[in-house]
Amino acid sequence: MATRRLLSLFRGIRSAPPFPANRVIPSFLSSGSSDFGNNTRQNQNQWRLIAAILFSGQAAVFFMDENRIAYAQDDSSNKLLSENTQGQGGNQEAYVSGLQRVEDGAVVSNEHTIKWRIFTDTGRDLFSKGKLDEAEKAFESALKEARLGFGQRDPHVASSCNNLAELKRVRKQFEEAEPLYLEAISILEDSFGPDDIRVGAALHNLGQFYLAQHKLDEARSSYERALKIKGRILAYNNPDYASTVHHLGRVLYLQGKEKDAEALIKESISILEDNGLGESSTCIRRMTTLAQIMLKSNRPADAEMLQRKILHALELLKGWDSLETANAAEALALTLQSLGNLKESRELLEKCLEVRKKVLSEDHIQVASTMLHLARLELYDSKRVPLVNGKYSETSEDLIRAKELLDNYK
C-alpha cells in the first residue's frame, strides 16, 4: 500500500534516495524498526506524540489542518494519540521530562530556560482559551527567554519563532509573521539539515501562512518541499503526509488545476482510510471538499456517491441529533434533487428540518433555509403533474404544501 498512485509530479519523490544514514535522526524514528512503509500503529503513534514535543516543547508548535488550529496534531491523529497515551499510562510524563534535551544528549537548564517553559505553556493555554493578546505577550516572552537561555540558533528558538508566527498568522499580522517562519526554518536546517522532519513540519506551517494570504506559488513551493521530506521519513501512507498532500491539492485547485487537485485530495482521503481513519472528522471534511469540487465540475452522480459515504460516517460518528449530520443530509438531498430523485430528497430534507427544529429554535435561519428547499422541491414536483385546461392545478397537494411552507417562512 505504501507505493501509491500520486501524480507524475511526485514520481521523482517516490524514487528519491532514503534519508541519509549519517543524518541525525531522533531516536523515536530509528527505534524498533527503520521500515516506515510497514505502517505499524506503533510507529505512527510514536511520531505523533514525540514530534509534537521534540520540535518545540510540550505541544507548543501548531500543526495546521483544514482551516482549523490544533496543537501538535490535526484531527486525523486524535485517535492515534489518544490510543497511544492510554496505552502508556504514566510513561507519557517520561516523554515530557525530556523536553529540554538537545541533540547531543546534554541537558540545558538555567533561569531563562525555565522561564521559556513557563511562558510557552502559558501562551499555549491562553491561546486555547482565545485570549490572543495575552498569548502573544507570553509567546514573545518565551522567544526572548529562549534566545537568552539556549542561544540564538538553538532549535528551541526555532520553536518559539514558529509559535509566535502562527499566532500572528491567525491575527493576520502577516508582515510580522513571515520573518519568524523563515528564521525558524533556517535554524532547523542549520541544526538538523535540510531534510529533517522538523524542517518538513515548519515548511508545512509556512505553506499554511502563504495559503492564508492567497500567495499560491509560495504556498505550493512550501508544501511540495514539505511533502518530499515527510514522504521520505514518515512513508507515503502516513496521516501527516496525507495532510500535506491535501493542502497541496487545495492550492492546485485554487490555481485552476482541478484534475490534479482532485487526484491529490482523493489520495489524502485514501491514506486516512488505509490507516483506519475513514470516519474521522478530518476525513469527512476532506470528502466534503471533494464532493464540492465534483459538483462544481458538474458531476452530481459522482458527488452523490461521496455524499452518501459522508452521511453514513456522520450517522455513526455523531448520530442524527447532530447539526453536522443534518447539514450532510441537506447537501445530499439537494444533489438528489438535481438528479431527479425527489422522493428521497424530500425524505432527507424533512429529517433535516426535524433535527434543526429540535436543536435550534424554529425561527432560526437554518430552519428557514430547509423550509425553502422543501418549498422549492414541492414547486418543482407540482410542475410534473398533468395540466388542467392548460394550467397547473392550484389544488395539487404538492403546490398546497409549497404554499404552506412559504407561509410558515414568512
C-alpha cell of 180? 519568524
C-alpha cell of 344? 428521497
CATH code for the domain in which residue 396 is found: 1.25.40.10
User: What is the rounded distance in angstroms from the CA atom of residue 370 to the CA atom of residue 93?
Assistant: 49
Tell which wins on pLDDT, 281 or 410. Answer: 281
- pTM strictly above 0.85: no
**∠ Cα 64 194 245 (to 5°):** 35
Domain that holds residue 376: 322-410
User: What is the rounded distance in angstroms from the CA atom of residue 168 to the CA atom of residue 175?
Assistant: 9
Number of domains the chain contains? 1
* Angle between the N-to-C axes of helices 239-254 and 41-54, in degrees from 0 to 180, rounded to the nearest 10: 70
* Half-sphere exposure in the Cβ direction for 246 (13 Å, CA): 27
340-358 average pLDDT score: 94
Query: For 49-58, how does the pLDDT look when each residue is reduced to its tens digit (9 = 90+)?
Result: 333 433 344 3
**Whether pLDDT at 101 is above 80:** no
Q: Is residue 359 part of a domain?
A: yes
Query: For 290-308, how does the pLDDT look when each residue is reduced to its tens digit (9 = 90+)?
Result: 999 999 999 999 999 999 9
SS3 253: helix
Mean pLDDT over each residue of the chain, to the nearest integer: 76
Describe the chain by its helix, strand, coil percentages, rounded to 5. Answer: 70, 0, 30
Q: Is residue 340 part of a domain?
A: yes
Q: What is the pLDDT of residue 107?
A: 52
Q: What is the pLDDT of residue 343?
A: 93
Q: Is residue 139 part of a domain?
A: no
Q: Is residue 147 part of a domain?
A: no
Strand partners, 107: 101
- Is 321 within 8 Å of 355 (Cβ atoms)? yes
How does residue 273 score in pLDDT terms, banded at 50, 70 and 90? very high
Query: For 105-142, how does the pLDDT look when each residue is reduced to its tens digit (9 = 90+)?
Result: 345 678 999 999 999 999 999 999 999 999 999 999 99
Q: What is the pLDDT of residue 105?
A: 38
User: What is the rounded distance in angstroms from the CA atom of residue 295 to the CA atom of residue 279?
Assistant: 22
Q: What is the pLDDT of residue 405?
A: 55
Q: What is the pLDDT of residue 325?
A: 96
Q: Is residue 389 part of a domain?
A: yes
Could you give the percent of the chain with pLDDT greater than 70?
67
User: What is the rounded distance in angstroms from the CA atom of residue 287 to the CA atom of residue 278?
Assistant: 10
Q: Is residue 46 part of a domain?
A: no
- Is 188 within 8 Å of 145 (Cβ atoms)? no
Q: Is residue 31 part of a domain?
A: no
Q: Is residue 332 part of a domain?
A: yes
User: What is the CB neighbour count within 10 angstroms for residue 196?
Assistant: 23
Nearest to 234 by CA among 12, 34, 24, 4: 34
* Angle between the N-to-C axes of helices 300-317 and 281-296, in degrees from 0 to 180, rounded to the nearest 10: 160
- Is 143 within 8 Å of 161 (Cβ atoms)? yes
**Whether pLDDT at 402 is above 60:** no
C-alpha cell of 157? 528558538
Nearest to 294 by CA among 304, 285, 303: 303
Long-range contacts, 249-255 (Cβ 8 Å, 24+): 250/211, 250/289, 251/207, 251/211, 251/216, 251/219, 251/220, 251/223, 252/220, 253/293, 254/214, 254/216, 255/216, 255/220
C-alpha cell of 128? 486555547
C-alpha cell of 99? 523536553
User: What is the rounded distance in angstroms from the CA atom of residue 328 to the CA atom of residue 9?
Assistant: 34
